[in-house]
């Protein structure tokens, strides 16, 4: 006899449970609820209004020195980070080694930087294009760019992307972006001239921001906080302010917040039957209780690290190593993005405007076709800088770290600092993993994520190549001085975490089929950045969105 | 000193002489010139509060380091003097020894000071947004006009 948790509505049980109301989860909820499905959406974080996300420059998702601004109650959720020398570190969520995205309704995209890139067609066929380096797990996706293109298009219009249709040509598109590109800053115009002198073409990158009123919300006011923070005019687009409200408006979607899934339930034969979770006994209560809820379909959408953890936590006699781990791929091939940066000082007469979002010029010239290098990266300028972040990262290395000289350098250079950076397509390694820690447990007594290994050394070579191109760009543009630091071999996941439940046509080569359905299960799906076989030389979120639209369309078609 | 009022002297490990030394160091880390420095911005409040809160684990490190600075000042200057009583040039010279030695005390204090000074005023070390005024930074600022867009790239490329 199953009793229904008090916080769930009465009436028929859900058709589908989605674990995680992040970027992908919100899209799935919207599409499935509008398609007539009864959806239960479980989210471990809160549904935060703008006012509940502080503008704290020490505790936000761009700089989290002592905490962040969306995890209201982060205690009791550490991870174990194993560094490349094998030493273990117990790290809280705000520590960079924890690799936190954001635990809140909307996921990382609640406070993100909004770069909304399509992957390059060759990003889906890396192994075919470059061969497979020894000891790497580089592989082609089981789908091609053309399979995803209609869903990229759907995402761009449903979420609201501002871009440059004619300049942005690395991936074929059929119709213009729904919103005009962000304004180009004077320093970006300066970079455009530098790139032109090298024969590189540039354009205004695609951003998920309302450059004009769209879908009933206002336009960006170009405030100077932006990335890492909530948007004061709600012009920062994600699933939390588009597809999720649409889901809730149908009356068929129930969102339960502060509900952390602890296990995907299976019956004696191993068939998925529902989800167990921990949530307040009633909304707002501090007392937690364990609940179970059943549905014919379960979608895990908890972000790349937590989705893999949940499937590992769901082991049973029929699946002793976790659900979807029949071929030992679950939790492996963790990827993020190496992000080489070249810093420089603008010449007199060119100034930063100190308006957000800030990213307004990019080149995709180095994503592929780099002699002797596997893959590459898109290069772009940076988001508007917070003063403290500038102090920590952007002063020339020979400026004293304190005293009058430091203060004067801050004053002289704050509006003249510039940098160019890019997300390097990583070469995955099976040794870069998330597993369950054998000893450390979270506040619900569940084993925490244990992160170990490093990316493949080829990633470092590509990152070094991209760093040199970034320096070249600043030099050619006429920067007064240019500096940067060489990349090192490390574990990489972070905000762009991906790859832990890779898709494969052949069940022995991955965790899910080409639609995200877990091999060997007909009613369990994964849908988030976990599915990415490789993570592109671009920020990953538009691909996460396109996959969510594709998975939803597939589900609505098949039932 | 909001933070001080919270803590009776019995549990306040930053004794008055240490607080004097701390303020003197902060005054050299972010000095006053045409623009206000650490003390005018209340960065000392921020650092004390951090050392009693989020950075409490580092309090012993900072206390020991401040005590060493005073000991150095007493040993190397005649007539004998505390760090705070030295002239600014002498103070700067003295601060260079923990810096060059890579003393974690010094590097942590440099970080704490600048965190307070350049973070948002809500954190208490950047009173009236003094440092932001110096830099011309306004988080709400940006364009007070509706943004205008760059023309899309011509299709000829
Ligand atoms: C500051 C910042 C800036 C960024 N900028 C960009 C950018 O410019 N461009 C770009 O492409 N990407 C950017 N990203 C990354 C982007 O946000 C992610 O790629 C994207 O959110 C991934 O989507 P997802 O659905 O895989 O996971 P998420 O969006 O992380 O969603 C996962 C959700 O699952 C929830 N969850 C986890 N475990 C459980 C559980 N057990 N039970 C219930 N719920 C659970 C989480 O709380 C979360 O809400 C940025 C991220 C951050 C933090």
Give the separation between CA B110 and CA B99, rounded to whole angstroms.
10
CA closest to B26 among chain A residues: A403
Contact A166 B142 (CB under 8 A): no
With CA atoms as reference, report the closest residue to A27 among A253, A265, A216: A253
Whether A6 is in a domain gets the answer: no
Whether A335 is in a domain gets the answer: yes
User: CA separation (Å) from A124 to A146, A533, A550, B87?
Assistant: 10, 8, 16, 65
Q: Is A383 on the interface with B (CB under 8 A)?
A: no
A323 CB less than 6 Å from ligand 1? Answer: no
| One-character DSSP codes across B79-98 | S---GGGS-HHHHHHHHHHH
Whether B140 is in a domain gets the answer: no
Q: Is B30 on the interface with A (CB under 8 A)?
A: yes
Place of tokens 């979420």: A159
pLDDT for residue A554 is more than 80: yes
Give the separation between CA B148 and CA A211, rounded to whole angstroms.
8
Whether A65 is in a domain gets the answer: no
CA closest to A58 among chain B residues: B119
- Shortest Cα distance from A453 to chain B (angstroms)? 29
Lowest mean pLDDT segment, chosen from A4-8, A57-61, A305-309, A324-328? A4-8
pLDDT for residue A81 is more than 50: yes
Tens of pLDDT, residues A378-425: 999 999 999 999 999 999 999 999 999 999 999 999 999 999 999 999
Give the separation between CA A452 and CA A458, rounded to whole angstroms.
18
Give the separation between CA A404 and CA A388, rounded to whole angstroms.
17
Q: Is A415 on the interface with B (CB under 8 A)?
A: yes
Q: Is B122 on the interface with A (CB under 8 A)?
A: yes
| A residues 181-210 lying closer than 8 A (beta carbon) to B | 181-184, 201, 203-204
Question: What pLDDT does residue B5 have?
Answer: 45
Whether A33 is in a domain gets the answer: yes
Whether B22 is in a domain gets the answer: no
Q: Which domain holds residue A459?
A: 16-43+87-558
Question: What pLDDT does residue A3 have?
Answer: 54
Q: Is A405 on the interface with B (CB under 8 A)?
A: no
Question: What pLDDT does residue B11 have?
Answer: 52
CA closest to B139 among chain A residues: A224
What CATH number should be reported for the domain holding residue A531?
Answer: 3.50.50.60
Whether A185 is in a domain gets the answer: yes
Whether A75 is in a domain gets the answer: no
Whether B97 is in a domain gets the answer: yes
Whether B86 is in a domain gets the answer: yes
Q: Is A90 on the interface with B (CB under 8 A)?
A: no
Q: How many domains does chain B have?
A: 1
Tens of pLDDT, residues A352-373: 889 999 999 999 999 999 999 9
Model-wide pTM > 0.90: yes
Tens of pLDDT, residues A501-528: 999 999 999 999 999 999 999 999 999 9
Within 8 A of A402 by CB-CB distance, chain B residues are: 28-30, 95, 99, 110, 113-114
Within 8 A of B119 by CB-CB distance, chain A residues are: 56-58, 387-388
Whether B45 is in a domain gets the answer: yes
Q: Which domain holds residue B72?
A: 38-135
Whether B144 is in a domain gets the answer: no
With CA atoms as reference, report the closest residue to A357 among A222, A191, A230: A222
- % pLDDT > 90, chain A: 94
Whether A58 is in a domain gets the answer: no
Within 8 A of A401 by CB-CB distance, chain B residues are: 99, 107, 110
pLDDT for residue A282 is more than 90: no
- % pLDDT > 90, chain B: 76
Whether B21 is in a domain gets the answer: no
Interface test with B, best of A402, A408, A414, A416 (most B CBs within 10 A): A402
Whether B27 is in a domain gets the answer: no
Q: How many domains does chain A have?
A: 1
Give the separation between CA A302 and CA A530, rounded to whole angstroms.
9
């Amino acid at each position: 006899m199953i009793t229904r948790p008090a916080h769930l509505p009465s009436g028929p049980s859900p058709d589908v449970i989605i674990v995680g109301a992040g970027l992908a989860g919100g899209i799935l909820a919207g599409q499935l609820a509008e398609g007539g499905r009864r959806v239960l959406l479980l989210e471990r974080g809160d549904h935060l209004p703008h006012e509940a996300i502080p503008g704290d420059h020490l505790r936000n998702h761009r700089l989290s020195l002592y905490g962040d601004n969306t995890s209201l109650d982060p205690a009791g959720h550490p991870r174990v980070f194993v560094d490349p020398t094998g030493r273990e570190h117990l790290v809280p969520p705000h520590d960079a080694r924890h690799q936190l995205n954001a635990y809140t309704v909307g996921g990382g995209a609640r406070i993100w930087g909004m770069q909304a890139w399509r992957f390059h067609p060759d990003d889906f066929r890396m192994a075919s294009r470059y061969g497979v380096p020894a000891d790497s797990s580089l592989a082609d996706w089981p789908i091609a760019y053309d399979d995803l293109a209609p869903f990229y298009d759907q995402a761009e219009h449903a979420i609201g992307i501002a871009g440059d249709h004619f300049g942005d040509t690395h991936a074929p598109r059929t119709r213009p972006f729904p919103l005009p590109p962000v304004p180009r800053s004077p320093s970006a115009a300066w970079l455009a001239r530098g790139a032109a002198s090298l024969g590189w073409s540039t354009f205004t990158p695609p951003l998920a921001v309302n450059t004009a009123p769209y879908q009933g919300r206002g336009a960006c006011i170009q405030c100077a906080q932006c990335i890492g923070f909530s948007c004061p005019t709600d012009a920062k687009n994600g699933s939390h302010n588009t597809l999720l409200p649409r889901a809730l408006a149908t009356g068929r979607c129930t969102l339960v917040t502060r509900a952390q899934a602890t296990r995907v339930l299976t019956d004696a034969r191993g068939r998925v039957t529902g989800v167990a979770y921990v949530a307040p006994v009633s909304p707002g209560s501090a007392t937690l209780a364990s609940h179970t809820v059943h549905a014919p379909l379960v979608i895990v959408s908890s972000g790349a690290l937590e989705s893999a953890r949940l499937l590992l936590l769901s082991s049973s006699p029929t699946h002793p190593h976790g659900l979807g781990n029949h071929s030992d791929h679950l939790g492996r091939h963790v990827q993020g993005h190496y992000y080489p940066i070249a810093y420089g000082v603008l010449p007199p007469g060119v100034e930063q405007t100190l308006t957000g979002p800030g990213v307004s010029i990019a080149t995709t010239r180095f994503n592929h076709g780099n002699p002797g290098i596997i893959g590459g990266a898109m290069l772009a300028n940076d988001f508007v800088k917070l003063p403290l972040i500038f102090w920590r990262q952007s002063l020339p290395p020979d400026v004293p770290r304190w005293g009058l000289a430091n203060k004067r350098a801050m004053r002289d250079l704050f509006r003249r600092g510039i940098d160019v950076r890019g997300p390097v397509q990583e070469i995955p390694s099976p040794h870069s993993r998330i597993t369950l820690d054998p000893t450390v447990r979270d506040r619900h007594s569940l084993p925490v994520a244990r992160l170990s290994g490093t990316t493949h050394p080829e990633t470092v070579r590509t990152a070094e190549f991209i760093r040199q191109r970034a320096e070249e760009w600043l030099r050619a543009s006429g920067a007064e001085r240019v500096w940067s630091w060489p990349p090192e071999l490390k574990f990489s996941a972070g905000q762009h975490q991906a790859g832990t439940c890779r898709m494969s046509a052949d069940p022995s080569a991955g965790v899910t089929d080409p639609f995200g359905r877990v091999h060997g299960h007909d009613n369990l799906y994964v849908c988030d950045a976990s599915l990415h076989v490789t993570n592109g030389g671009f920020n990953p979120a538009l691909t996460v969105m396109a996959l969510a639209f594709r998975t939803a369309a597939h589900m609505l078609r098949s039932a | 000193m909001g933070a001080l009022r919270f803590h009776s002297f019995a549990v306040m490990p930053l004794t008055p002489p240490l607080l004097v030394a701390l303020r003197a160091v902060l005054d050299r880390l972010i000095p006053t010139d045409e623009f206000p420095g650490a003390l005018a911005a209340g960065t000392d409040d921020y650092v004390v509060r951090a050392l009693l809160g989020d950075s409490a684990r580092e309090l012993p490190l900072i206390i020991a380091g401040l005590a060493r600075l005073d000991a150095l000042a007493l040993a190397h200057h005649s007539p004998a003097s505390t760090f705070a009583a030295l002239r600014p040039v002498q103070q700067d010279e003295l601060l260079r020894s923990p810096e060059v030695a890579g003393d974690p005390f010094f590097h942590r204090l440099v970080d704490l000071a600048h965190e307070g000074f350049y973070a948002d005023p809500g954190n208490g070390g950047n009173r009236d947004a003094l440092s932001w005024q110096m830099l011309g930074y306004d988080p709400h600022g940006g364009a007070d006009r509706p943004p205008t867009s760059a023309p899309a790239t011509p299709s000829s490329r």
